[in-house]
Amino acid sequence: MVPLRILISNDDGVFADGIRTLAAAAVARGHHVSVVCPDQERSATGHGLTLQTPIRAERADALFADGVRAWACSGTPSDCVKLALFALLDEWPDLVLSGINHGPNLGTDVLYSGTVSAAMEGTIEGLPALAVSSADFQWRQFTPAAELALDVAEQMLAAGWPRGALLNLNVPPLPADQIGALRWCRTAVRRYTDQFDRRVDPRGRTYYWLAGEVANDLEAEVSGPAAWPTDVAQLNSGGAALTPLQPEIFWRGDCGELPGLEALSTRPTQP
């Protein structure tokens, strides 16, 4: 395949093993790789942007495989992709990759995920983009996920990337020869039982630490083809889950269930 210009970002930061493995695998295939990622971990920052403070970017080539151009950025994952596209890169990439995340991005996690948001920034700008996550926080064998992500991205580009589609890939924490089938998946409902651990610091001031537990709702009604498994169910079966997402989040329910506007406001309304 013709070498691609690939931009890689993440939310785990410049020192994360996942992003370095992904960049090295892409270079090994002959692609031209640029990395612009946070200078420290910025997980669960969603699609936040830095507006009140300056953003700084320092070269970090030495942290990556030979041939990778890299910058460590003081901003969020979304900042990183914006900065790359509009300030740092000489040419826009053919593909945006985000990851490999240290931990899953399943179901409604995608609303909070900096990894998915970095890829989504590419989608918003009209670029093919894929987010990839290793579905275990302790797993550190990232090569299978890197190779699968590149296989998927290359084949999707060859086939014609659907306009406006962000692909979210979650790979089970298994050796390559034990990973089950790759399947198209729907997004599950993944709620958390949010628990705040109340603590007191050495100066006697109270603070709170969020320590929620996952409570997957596998029976909830979700959008997408009924024959597709949810991403959570697919990972639980040992397979890799590939889910198409998009920036547009208009409600998919029955608009007939919404009350007439005249019942909500005394101002003049239109249908």
Instruction: Output the DSSP codes for 129-164.
Output: EEEEEES-SS----HHHHHHHHHHHHHHHHH-PPTT
User: Distance (Å, rounded) from C-alpha 80 to C-alpha 148?
Assistant: 24
What are the phi and psi torsion angles at 230 (to 5°)? -75, 160
Give domain 5-188+225-255's CATH superfamily. Answer: Survival protein SurE-like phosphatase/nucleotidase (3.40.1210.10)
Q: From residue 179, how far is each of 43, 73, 144, 232 by CA, in Å?
A: 26, 34, 9, 15
C-beta of residue 157 within 8 angstroms of C-beta of residue 127:
no
| pLDDT value, residue 270 | 63
In 10-122, DSSP assigns E strands to: 32-38, 57-59, 69-73, 95-102
User: Distance (Å, rounded) from C-alpha 148 to C-alpha 181?
Assistant: 11
Q: How confident is the model at residue 156 (pLDDT cuts 50, 70, 90)?
A: very high
Residue-wise pLDDT for 73-82, tens only, equals 999 999 999 9
C-beta of residue 96 within 8 angstroms of C-beta of residue 129:
yes
| pLDDT value, residue 8 | 98
Per-residue burial over 60-91, b = 16 or more CB atoms within 10 Å of its CB, e = otherwise: beebbbeebbbbbbbbbbbbbbbbbbeebbee
Q: How confident is the model at residue 265 (pLDDT cuts 50, 70, 90)?
A: confident
User: Distance (Å, rounded) from C-alpha 97 to C-alpha 151?
Assistant: 12
pTM: 0.92
| Per-chain mean pLDDT for the chain | 92
C-beta of residue 243 within 8 angstroms of C-beta of residue 184:
yes
C-beta of residue 192 within 8 angstroms of C-beta of residue 212:
yes
pLDDT over 90, % of the chain: 75
**Which residue ranges make up each domain of the chain?**
5-188+225-255
Residue-wise pLDDT for 196-239, tens only, equals 889 999 999 999 988 777 777 666 778 888 899 999 999 999 99
Residue-wise pLDDT for 184-199, tens only, equals 999 988 777 777 889 9
Residue-wise pLDDT for 93-151, tens only, equals 999 999 999 999 999 889 999 999 999 999 999 999 999 999 999 999 999 999 999 99
| pLDDT value, residue 219 | 67
Please check the confidence at residue 21 and state whether its pLDDT lies above 70. Answer: yes
Residue-wise pLDDT for 248-261, tens only, equals 888 878 888 888 88
Structure tokens that stand for 96 in this block: 């945006």
Q: From residue 118, how far is each of 76, 95, 124, 222 by CA, in Å?
A: 9, 12, 10, 24
Residue-wise pLDDT for 32-53, tens only, equals 999 999 999 998 888 899 999 9
| pLDDT value, residue 152 | 97
Mean pLDDT of all residues in 60-82: 97
Mean pLDDT of all residues in 156-161: 96
Structure tokens that stand for 168 in this block: 């979210």
According to DSSP, the residues that pair with 33 across neighbouring strands are: 6
Mean pLDDT of all residues in 164-183: 96
Pick the residue with more confidence: 269 or 198?
Answer: 198
User: Distance (Å, rounded) from C-alpha 111 to C-alpha 223?
Assistant: 16
| pLDDT value, residue 56 | 97
| pLDDT value, residue 268 | 65
